Amino acid sequence: MSIAVDTFFLNPDAPGTLQAQVQQMIAEGILSGRFHTGEKLPSSRRLAAHLGVSRITVTLAYTELVANDYLSAQGRSGYYVSENAPVPPTYSPRPRAADTVDWTRAIAQRFTGGDTPRKPGDWRDFRYPFIYGQADPTLFDHANWRQCALRALGQKDFASLTDDYYDRDDPLLVEYIARHTLPRRGISARPEEILITLGAQNALWIAARVLLNRRRRAVIEDPCYHAQRDLLTHAGCRLTPVRVDADGLPPDAIPPGTDVIFTTPSHQCPTTATMPLHRRHALLERARELDALVVEDDYEFEMAFLAAPSPALKSLDEDGRVIYVGSFSKSLFPGLRLGYMVGSEPFIREARALRATMLRHPPGHMQRTAAYFLSLGHYDSQIRRMGAALHDRRRAAEAAIAEHGLTIAGRGVYGGSSLWMQAPEGTDSAELATRLQADGVFIEPGAPFFAGPERPARFYRLGYSSIPTSRIGEGIARIAAALRDAPGATDRPAPQAMQHS
Amino acid sequence: MSIAVDTFFLNPDAPGTLQAQVQQMIAEGILSGRFHTGEKLPSSRRLAAHLGVSRITVTLAYTELVANDYLSAQGRSGYYVSENAPVPPTYSPRPRAADTVDWTRAIAQRFTGGDTPRKPGDWRDFRYPFIYGQADPTLFDHANWRQCALRALGQKDFASLTDDYYDRDDPLLVEYIARHTLPRRGISARPEEILITLGAQNALWIAARVLLNRRRRAVIEDPCYHAQRDLLTHAGCRLTPVRVDADGLPPDAIPPGTDVIFTTPSHQCPTTATMPLHRRHALLERARELDALVVEDDYEFEMAFLAAPSPALKSLDEDGRVIYVGSFSKSLFPGLRLGYMVGSEPFIREARALRATMLRHPPGHMQRTAAYFLSLGHYDSQIRRMGAALHDRRRAAEAAIAEHGLTIAGRGVYGGSSLWMQAPEGTDSAELATRLQADGVFIEPGAPFFAGPERPARFYRLGYSSIPTSRIGEGIARIAAALRDAPGATDRPAPQAMQHS
């Protein structure tokens, strides 16, 4: 029996080469049980004509499928589904009945209902994407990343690709971070004091679990990164949000009884405030008084194109009470899911045991590729290129903001990749964001960053890491136009930049 | 000023091409502050002669460093450290003082001290590695994995590589699992009922957190996968180990008040027992009586080379009370860190929210590469090749075991990649394993799989997924010889294979 050529269709939107698509189509037909052992495939000439592809494409796909034992070639007579082809399942899935489980009772701990807004997956379709924290294809050194990945896929690195590391990490990556990355933040650490994590968020999560329980109290900044608040809510500790000012977290406002302080001194998230040196010392002094630990989220220090970043809080720490969290999400790309934490050995030992139990280790291949990209110097080159581009974008944004009379509530003195904006009194920035979407503009409403029931609604964040310089002016013009049409907004811009009320 | 050629050394053990090593050496010199802006590098001829490499190697490295702005080329006069080269940190890390933090007090939750044994990182140096769960370079289709990874590194897949997916997964991978993998286990699931995890262990961890708390009771198999016991200990629930028999977990022994049952019906871990169909029905019936949920760890169903695997427990589940966990660690490689869980939508929704908070998502690149490898048919080809090789190894192991009079306590009826062995009464298999290490043989002692203070010491596991067939006979001969010399062992082999006492 022959398989009719009409059963083959190419999906014009499918990814991959034509050869891969043909190969995949046939493999799927066999695996799903549509094509059976011994059945003859259309000749390469017929299938090529039917699909409108070249004959060599079909021939190469057939050859590959023969090598994989899906097809067998029988001399001049053609290609057949092989006797050794994978057998589709003999039992068909039974139709699902309605659950009898009462999930309201069965779920012991709820994790939904957090404040983290769901960002759109289709942000690339926005013409003016003021989105924060995604990679820009024009700034990322894709070619060299690919080279490093290829090298990490080589025979020499077979073990680092495939091995179960248990609780260990790639020693090359750890060494690079210890010798080159941390010294730039004024931090000296031995490998036993470093743990690689699935991004900075995973590091913050692990720190919360090791350092907190129901009886302990954590201080977070208000406003702060929403996922930070969610993960502490899940940890079930007592939680005190402390309002930040133009210099970041005020140490005096940290209440007695605090056990752990979560802070973003270099670029406060989301206001971008930079904590001055005297306040850093005061914060450490306050932590010492309370015998509290400090978790420092230094998520964006590489984006310092205006001035050299000040040394990390951790570099001033003489007690071992600061746990430092770094990330490659902003400087490389967030889909990498690589970050790291630095702390005293007794802490890292517990963090490592927790990580091993919950997920073992970040994939070896991602760690090794990053280690190569860093150690070959591509990383530093990219940071400089990104810094130059972000500087341009920042200038364009500031010029347009001035031109249209909008108000900046916070801008990192070292650089960064976003501005914290303040709309006129009475503006609901969530409503503003919705209206702007129809106009091709993506902005992030500010309310989800704030704690408590009375959230200031008029702030919003403008990320400039994924929008071309040439579109920034028009994007901001559209925001200004939308603000003029905003229901309930007054015309008077708010006077005080850092006062959140 | 010129940089002396003598300051350059190649490390003969360094990974990567010579060109990459030269490039890395120079980049590191600049980043660490040893080489300064404006300093002249040795001529390519001199450096090549000094290092004993070809001149073109050095020239290519220099050219690449010029492209990255580390060096500048000044006509015929040579190469200089560029003015735009990255600047080393201006402050040096301060020497670390002793911690004043009292870590005994500061750590709120401990995660160390679990039962999971630390496996050796150098297992490849053993001549007879009866290790379980690592990839074998002779069985893994490295070439096609590399091809798929390359494709996933292409321009078309830039978003899947770099994007922050938030709580989402790669739709290609989810679709493949839903349409091709799960039907082979008799399971029908929609994408909303599937979550990709950082390996099966991460799935078990997530299930434990969503379904358990301090008041709820979990049943685990005894013996069981040690990390499974560790993660439930961390979850802080009440925990009841139930001794397995030759058919796996006995439903009658599950006590009243049980909320969640963790089980490995297809290949009990570590005894390899397969639960017969009538017991699967009885287990589901018992779960229904108790209104308990069942977490099914189907970690090795692909390794069924002796007979088709029986349908998953989940395929018999009419209530929605089974949560199914699958893994690519055994069939691809553990360093991939990809697994998946299938359950009713209300459960997966909570699991997804927890995963998003703790780590966001498994790296997009790993998901996309696996999706290609699966959908192009390489995965099924590899499973068949692995099955044939494991079958050979299993035959070799069984023949040698019979020849030397050793006792198999459990062997999976469908296949698998390990045998559960029973040494004579009085043997301490941990002591045996230590003695065998000196003889180049790696075996896994069985005691850590058991719960409680009275752990049977005479069992051990022989994995055959990473040892060549040709070495199995000699490896087992050495185990037999070591057993003959064992202190305290009787000569009589134990009579009952599955009785753990």
Q: Which residues in chain A have their CB less than 8 angstroms from residue B261's CB?
A: none
If one compares A90 and B351, the residue with the highest pLDDT of the two is: B351
- What's the pLDDT band for A122 if we cut at 50, 70, 90? confident
- Stronger pLDDT, B363 or A77, i.e. the higher one: B363
Of B38, B39, B57, B37, nearest to B47 by C-alpha is B57
Contact yes or no for A205/A358 (Cβ under 8 A): no
Q: Which two tokens stand for residue B206?
A: 């997530």
Interface test with A, best of B112, B124, B331 (most A CBs within 10 A): B112
What is the rounded distance in angstroms from the CA atom of residue A473 to the CA atom of residue A128? 10
Report the SS3 class of residue A217.
Answer: strand
- CB–CB contact A94 B20 (8 Å): no
Average pLDDT, chain B: 90
Give the chain A residue whose CA is nearest to the CA of B380: A86
Query: Is the Cβ pair A155, B133 closer than 8 Å?
Result: no
Which residues of chain B neighbour A366 with C-beta distances below 8 Å? 363, 365-366
Structure tokens given for B1? 């000023």
Subunit contact A384:B153, Cβ cutoff 8 A: no
> Which residue type does A203 have?
A
Taking contacts as CB-CB distances below 8 angstroms, the residues of chain A near B378 are: 68
User: DSSP strand E in B168-243: where?
Assistant: 194-197, 217-222, 238-243
Q: Can you give the pLDDT at residue B498?
A: 45
Instruction: State phi, psi for B34 to the nearest 5 degrees.
Output: -75, -35
Q: Which of A84, A94, A162 sits opposite B140 (nearest CB)?
A: A162
Nearest beta carbon to residue B107 from set A98, A114, A210: A210
Q: Count of CB atoms within 10 A of residue B442's CB?
A: 24
Cβ within 8 Å, pair A335-B150: no
A187 neighbourhood in chain B, CB within 8 Å:
93
In chain B, residues with a C-beta closer than 8 Å to the C-beta of A32 are 179-180
Please indicate whether, in this complex, the C-beta atoms of B315 and A91 are within 8 angstroms of each other: yes
B408 to chain A, closest Cα gap in Å? 26
CB–CB contact B97 A318 (8 Å): yes
Cα gap A445→A436, rounded to integer Å? 11
Shortest distance between the Cα of B216 and any Cα of chain A, in A, equals 8
pLDDT exceeds cutoff 60 at A90: no
Higher-scoring residue by pLDDT: B56, B254: B254
Residue with the two structure tokens 């057949």: A80
pLDDT of residue B432: 96
Contacts of A95 (CB under 8 A, 6+ apart): B188
Mean pLDDT, range B400-411, rounded to an integer: 95
Fill in the amino acid letter for B343: G
> Which chain A residue is nearest to residue B338, measuring alpha carbons?
A363
Which chain A residues are closer than 8 Å to B336 by Cβ?
A: 162, 363, 365
Asked if the Cβ–Cβ distance from A23 to B155 is below 8 Å, we say no
State whether A107 and B359 contact (CB < 8 Å): no
**B27-63: pLDDT as tens digits:** 888 887 778 888 899 998 989 988 888 999 999 999 8
Put simply, the answer to whether B231 touches A358 (Cβ < 8 Å) is yes
**Beta strands at A217-222 and A260-263: parallel, antiparallel or unpaired:** parallel
CB distance A469 to A156 below 8 Å: no
The 3-state secondary structure of B28-50, one letter per residue: HHHHCCCCCCCCECCCHHHHHHH
B335-390 residue pLDDT tens: 999 999 999 999 999 999 999 999 999 999 999 999 999 999 899 889 989 999 99
Q: What is the enclosing helix (H) or strand (E) of B482?
A: helix B469-484
Give residue B496's pLDDT.
44
Q: Is the pLDDT of residue B17 over 50?
A: yes
Which of A101, A188, A212 lies closest to B293 in CB terms? A101
Distance CA B445, CA B427 (A): 11
pLDDT, one tens digit per residue, over B442-480 is 999 999 999 988 899 999 999 999 999 999 999 999 999
Looking up tokens 């430092």, which residue turns up? A324
Cα A387 to Cα A391: distance, rounded to the nearest angstrom: 6
Answer whether B93 sits within 8 Å of A361, measured CB to CB: no
pLDDT band at A95 (very low <50, low <70, confident <90, very high): low
Q: What's the angle, vertex CA B449, arms to CA B447 and CA B455, rounded to 5?
A: 40
B165 contacts A210? CB cut-off 8 A: no
In B201-211, which positions are buried (b, 16+ CB within 10 angstroms) versus exposed (e)? Answer: bbbbbbbbbbb
| The two three-digit tokens of residue A393, written as one number | 């974008």
pLDDT at A501: 38
| A109 → closest Cβ in B209, B334, B377 | B209
Cross-strand bridge partners of residue B407: B422
Instruction: Give me the residue from A89, A162, A293 closest to B106, CB to CB.
Output: A293
Residue appearing with tokens 């007979």: B307
Question: Chain A residue closest to B135 (CA)?
Answer: A162
User: Could you give the 3-state DSSP secondary structure of residue B75?
Assistant: helix
Distance from CA of A266 to the nearest CA of B (A): 16
Q: Of A142, A210, A377, which is closest to B68 when you measure between CB atoms?
A: A377
Residue A391: CB atoms within 10 Å: 15
Rounded Cα distance, B467 and A11, in Å? 43
Q: For residue A486, what are its two tokens?
A: 């905003």
Model confidence at B414: pLDDT above 60: yes
CA of B182 to nearest chain A CA: how many angstroms apart? 9
Cβ within 8 Å, pair B134-A162: yes
Q: What residue has token string 């008084």?
A: A289
pLDDT at site A441: 97
- Distance from C-alpha of A6 to C-alpha of A1, rounded to nearest angstrom: 15
Query: CB-CB: which of B159, B318, B377 is closest to A70?
Result: B377
Instruction: Spell out which residues of chain A touch residue B20, defining contact as CB-CB under 8 Å.
Output: 151, 372, 376
Three-state SS for B319-361 is CCCEEEEEECCCCCCHHHCCEEEECCHHHHHHHHHHHHHHCCC
Q: Is the pLDDT of residue B311 over 70?
A: yes
B287: left (phi over 0), alpha (psi -120 to 50) or beta: alpha
- Over residues A297-337, the pLDDT tens digits come to 998 888 888 887 778 999 999 999 999 999 999 899 999 99
Structure confidence at residue A411 as a pLDDT band (50, 70, 90): confident
Cβ separation of A354 and B234 shorter than 8 Å?
A: yes
Backbone angles phi, psi at A441, to 5 degrees: -110, 130
> How many beta carbons lie within 10 A of that of residue A266, not counting itself?
30
CB contact under 8 A, B198 and A359: yes
Answer whether B211 sits within 8 Å of A91, measured CB to CB.
no
User: Would you list the DSSP string of B239-301?
Assistant: EEEEE-BTTBS-GGGSPTT--EEEE--SS-TTT-----HHHHHHHHHHHHHHT-EEEEE-TTT
**Residues of chain B contacting A213 with CB distance shorter than 8 Å:** 108-109
**Which residues of chain B neighbour A23 with C-beta distances below 8 Å?**
376-377
ipTM of the complex: 0.85
Tokens at residue A11, please? 């999906």
Mark yes or no for CB contact A23/B377 under 8 Å: yes
Alpha-carbon torsion B28, B31, B35, B40, what sign?
positive
Would strands A71-74 and B78-81 be described as parallel, antiparallel, or unpaired? unpaired
State the average pLDDT for chain A.
90
H or E element that contains B459: strand B459-463
Q: Is B127 exposed, middle or buried (0-12, 13-18, 19+ CB in 10 A)?
A: middle
Give the mean pLDDT of A414-424.
95
- For residue B302, give every residue at least 6 positions away whose Cβ sits within 8 Å of its Cβ, in sequence order, or none: B330, B331, B383, B386
Query: Could you say which of A137, A333, A380 has the minimum Cβ distance to residue B86?
Result: A380
Weakest mean pLDDT among A46-50, B272-276, B391-395, B433-437: A46-50
Is residue B300 over pLDDT 80? yes
Q: Tell me the C-alpha distance between A354 and B113, whole Å.
A: 11
Q: Which strand (E) or helix (H) includes residue A71?
A: strand A71-74
Q: What sign has the CA pseudo-torsion B429, B432, B438, B440?
A: negative
Q: Region B301-320: what's the mean pLDDT? A: 88
A112·B349 Cβ contact <8 A: yes
- What domains does chain B contain, in order, with CATH numbers? 5-81 (1.10.10.10), 125-137+382-484 (3.90.1150.10), 142-378 (3.40.640.10)
pLDDT band at B161 (very low <50, low <70, confident <90, very high): very high
Query: How would DSSP label each residue in A123-177?
Result: GGG-SEE--SS---TTTS-HHHHHHHHHHHTSGGGHHHHH---TT---HHHHHHI
φ, ψ for residue B35 (rounded to 5)? -105, 140
Tell me what pLDDT residue A38 has.
87
